[in-house]
Amino acid sequence: MKFLDEAKVYIRSGDGGNGCVSFRREKFIEFGGPNGGDGGNGGDVIAEAVDGLNTLIDYRYQQHFTAKNGGAGMGKDRHGANGANAVLKVPVGTQIYDEDGETLIADLTECGQRAVLLRGGNGGFGNAHFKTSTNRAPRHANPGQPGSELTIRLRLKLIADAGIVGLPNAGKSTFLAAVSAAKPKIADYPFTTLHPQLGVADVDGREFVLADIPGLIEGAHEGVGLGDRFLGHIERCRVLLHLVDGTDGDAGAAYNTVRAELIAYGRELAAKPEIVALNKADALGPDEIKRQTTRLKRAAKKNPFVISAVSGDGVADVLRASLQVIDEARRSEAPPRTADAAWHP
Ligand SMILES: Nc1nc2c(ncn2[C@@H]2O[C@H](COP(=O)(O)OP(=O)(O)OP(=O)(O)O)[C@@H](O)[C@H]2O)c(=O)[nH]1
Ligand SMILES: [Mg+2]
Please tell me the predicted confidence (pLDDT) of residue 226: 85
CB 166 near ligand 1, within 6 Å: yes
CB 310 near ligand 1, within 6 Å: yes
Nearest CA to ligand 1 atom 9: 171
SS3 for the chain is: CCCCCEEEEEEECCCCCCCCCCECCECCECCCCECCCCCCCCCCEEEEEECCCCCCCHHHHCCEEECCCCCCCECCCECCCCCCCEEEEEECCEEEECCCCCCEEEEECCCCCEEEEECCCCCCCCHHHHCCCCCCCCCCCCCCCCCCEEEEEEEECCCCCEEEECCCCCCHHHHHHHHCCCCCCCCCCCCCCCCCEEEEEEECCEEEEEEECCCCCCCHHHCCCCCCHHHHHHCCCCEEEEEEECCCCCHHHHHHHHHHHHHHHCCCHHHCCEEEEEECHHHCCHHHHHHHHHHHHHHHCCCCEECCCCCCCCHHHHHHHHHHHHHHHHHHCCCCCCCCCCCCC
CB 170 near ligand 1, within 6 Å: yes
Q: What is the pLDDT of residues 143-194, one digit of tens each?
A: 999 999 999 999 998 888 999 999 999 999 999 999 998 888 998 898 998 9
Quote the crossing angle between the two packed helices 172-179 and 315-332, to the nearest 10°: 80
Q: Using CA atoms, how far apart are residues 50 and 71, in angstroms rounded to an integer?
A: 30
Length of the chain: 345
**Phi/psi at 64 (5° precision):** -120, 130
Share of the chain above pLDDT 90, in %: 68
pLDDT at position 253 over 80: yes
For residue 2, with 0-12 CB atoms within 10 Å meaning exposed, 13-18 middle and 19 or more buried, which class applies?
A: exposed
Please tell me the predicted confidence (pLDDT) of residue 335: 60
Please tell me the predicted confidence (pLDDT) of residue 336: 54
Q: What is the pLDDT of residues 296-319, one digit of tens each?
A: 999 999 999 999 999 989 999 999
Please report which ligand is nearest the Cα atom of 215. 1
Q: Using CA atoms, how far apart are residues 234 and 237, in angstroms rounded to an integer?
A: 5
Nearest CA to ligand 1 atom 24: 191
Share of the chain above pLDDT 70, in %: 96
In DSSP terms, which residues pair with 135 in a beta bridge?
none
Q: What is the pLDDT of residues 64-115, one digit of tens each?
A: 999 999 999 999 999 999 999 999 999 999 999 999 988 999 999 999 999 9
Q: Residue 258 — pLDDT band, cuts 50, 70, 90?
A: very high
Question: 14: closest CA among 124, 119, 105, 150?
Answer: 119
CB 145 near ligand 1, within 6 Å: no
Nearest CA to ligand 1 atom 30: 280
Answer for the pair 110, 49: CB distance below 8 angstroms, yes or no: yes
Answer for the pair 325, 161: CB distance below 8 angstroms, yes or no: no
CB 187 near ligand 1, within 6 Å: yes
Q: Using CA atoms, how far apart are residues 68 and 40, in angstroms rounded to an integer?
A: 11
Q: What is the pLDDT of residues 137-146, one digit of tens each?
A: 999 999 999 9
Q: Which amino acid is at 297?
A: K
Answer for the pair 130, 140: CB distance below 8 angstroms, yes or no: yes
Residue from 164, 183, 186, 247 whose mutation best tests the ligand 1 pocket (most atoms within 8 A of CB): 186
Please state the rounded mean pLDDT for residues 129-138.
93
User: From ligand 2's centre to the CA of 171, what distance in Å?
Assistant: 7
Q: Which ligand 1 atom sits closest to the C-alpha of 168?
A: 25
Mean pLDDT value across the chain: 91
CB 174 near ligand 1, within 6 Å: yes
User: From ligand 2's centre to the CA of 276, what distance in Å?
Assistant: 17
pLDDT at position 20 over 80: yes
Q: Residue 293 — pLDDT band, cuts 50, 70, 90?
A: very high
Please state the rounded mean pLDDT for residues 335-339.
54
User: From ligand 1's centre to the CA of 175, what distance in Å?
Assistant: 8
